[in-house]
Amino acid sequence: MLVCVAAVLIIINGVALVSATFFTFWTFYLPWVGFLGPLGVITGVMLGLVLLGAMVLILLNFRVMAAFLIFPTAIVSLLIGGGFIIGAVLAVLAGILLIL
């Protein structure tokens, strides 16, 4: 469930970068987002879809493989803001719970 929430937050964060006001607000806090430009939107949607794919792996009982897919995805999602930061935190927490 945490992975699904994290995926949705990361996708919403990626799509929100289309808005000029949100983009300027977000680049004030995370300056590297400004260098990504439109690539940030594509990155956010793709990383969210990867996390949803990890959710399928969890449902098929490939939990450790899903955890090793979730960790790098959560770290890379920090490039665009990580689903308002909380999405990356939830994804890392879900990966830790899957390994345990």
pLDDT tens string 85-99:
999 999 999 999 999
pLDDT for residue 17: 92
What b/e readout covers 78-90, taking b as 16+ CB neighbours within 10 angstroms?
A: bbbbbbeeebbbb
Cβ-in-10-Å burial (0-12, 13-18, 19+) of 49 comes to middle
pLDDT of residue 15: 94
Q: What's the confidence (pLDDT) of residue 37?
A: 84
Q: What is the pLDDT of residue 68?
A: 95
Residue 38 pLDDT: 87
pLDDT tens, residue by residue, 19-30:
999 999 999 999
- The secondary structure of residue 19, as a DSSP letter, is S
pLDDT tens digits along 21-77: 999 999 999 999 989 888 999 999 999 999 999 999 999 999 999 999 999 999 999
pTM of the full structure: 0.93
* Residue at token pair 């680049």: 27
Find all residues with CB under 8 Å of 76, minimum gap 6, and list them. 43, 47
